[in-house]
Amino acid sequence: MEGEVGEALFTQAGMGKLISLGVSSSRGVVFIPVLVPETLQSFNLQKGQSLKIKVKGMAQGLLRAEKMVKSE
């Protein structure tokens, strides 16, 4: 997935940070919640920052980031 960081929705020590990621669709930009585990938080996530994220689907439709890099 590729998109821009929207809001930090939730943060919990040991679990990570839940962010909204704005991605382009045929209907315009849609925001998708993505869980970023603490192990991937090597840089400070900021609103509006462009990212490329490899995600894995988890229970109840939640997406978890497995790999993440800043895009240009």
- Picking from 29, 30, 34, the residue whose alpha carbon sits closest to that of residue 9 is 34
Checking if the pLDDT of 45 tops 90, the result is no
Structural domain of 40: 2-70
DSSP state letter for 47: T
Overall number of domains in the chain: 1
CATH number at residue 39: 2.40.50
Strand residue runs (E) in the chain: 2-12, 16-25, 28-36, 50-57, 63-70
Predicted structure pTM score: 0.86
Model confidence band, residue 41 (pLDDT cutoffs 50, 70, 90): confident
Per the structure block, which two tokens stand in for 63?
A: 């997406």
Q: What is the DSSP string of 27-44?
A: TEEEEEEEEE-GGG-SS-
Share of the chain above pLDDT 90, in %: 68
Which of 4-8, 25-29, 39-43, 67-71 is predicted least confidently? 39-43
Checking if the pLDDT of 42 tops 80, the result is no
Average pLDDT, the chain: 91
